[in-house]
Amino acid sequence: MSLFKSLLNFLYPPRCPFCDRVLASDGLGDGVAMWKDGNPMELPICDRCVQELPWLKRSCIYCGHSLQGEEIKCLRCSGSSFSFEECCVLGRYEGKIRETLLRFKYRGQKSLAEPLGKLLYSKLALLSWASSIDFLVPVPLYPERFKLRGYNQASLLAGAVGKELGLPVIEALGRVRDTKSQTGLNKKQRAENLRGAFKCIEQIKKESHVLLIDDVLTSGSTAQEASLVLKKEGASRVSVAALAR
């Protein structure tokens, strides 16, 4: 650790992003096996939150729903078709996970991108499909919202995950129009609300494998619509990663 980093850690000791408990001086938990037994990876999160928060250890490859058995998709997704190939979701959008994501998204706590990105990377690193990803694309905000908020949390998160993966982030998608809040809409209405909401604003490499990044995956309509646009532009595979669902 550099002297500068040591000093910084002394002045501002790293804290768990979920409960604010001070972590060890290197900013990591105690090296816990979070996703898979026998594969310890040091994470920037306290051991109590590793144990207590609703992490999704086995979940449907399309919607992130928790699974019990050996299957890879849930019953609901079995009969549907998707424009993306798979998704990786960290936990359920409730309790401390939800509170933390709200602080990240609405209360200007941009520094949460780094620990949350590391956490998302820790799960991606165990998935075989992650090794063929070419670049990351964040889900964009509508320009007016961006102006109000001053940042796009998905871009910050993509930056942090990209740094860990050693891959570039390309802001390839733009929002053509603002969409109504998805709250209170059913799955069909959500899909309709988002239809035609995105366009490609950067050329992307043909036959590429894209990792689409969002903070929260709700019905999957955003991932579905954004992936469609990326595929039309030449991506051959789109995977999705989000912090919660």
Binding site for Zn ion (CB under 5 A): 16, 18-19, 21, 46, 49, 60, 62-63, 65, 74, 77
Give the relative orientation of helices 113-124 and 95-106 as an angle to the nearest 10 degrees.
130
CB of 80 to Zn ion, least distance (A): 8
- Rounded Cα distance between 66 and 56, Å, is 6
Nearest distance in Å: CB 181, Zn ion: 23
Q: How far is the CB of 215 from Zn ion (least distance, A)?
A: 19
Place of tokens 């000791």: 13
Burial class (CB in 10 A: 0-12, 13-18, 19+), 189: middle
State the minimum distance, in angstroms, from the CB of residue 174 to Zn ion: 28
Phi, psi (degrees; rounded to nearest 5) at 197? -80, -20
Identify which of residues 56 and 158 has a Cβ nearer to Zn ion in the complex.
56
Angle separating helix axes 187-194 and 221-232, nearest 10 degrees: 40
Q: Which CB, 32 or 74, lies closer to Zn ion?
A: 74
The rounded distance, in Å, linking the Cα atoms of 200 and 171 is 9
- Structure-token match 């579905």, residue found: 224
Residue with smaller CB distance to Zn ion, 69 or 166? 69
Are 185 and 218 in contact, with CB atoms under 8 Å apart?
no
Instruction: Report the residue number, 63 or 197, with the smaller CB distance to Zn ion.
Output: 63
Least CB distance from residue 146 to Zn ion, whole Å?
Answer: 30
Which is closer to Zn ion, CB of 46 or CB of 154? 46
Closest Cα partner for 187 from 12, 89, 63? Answer: 63
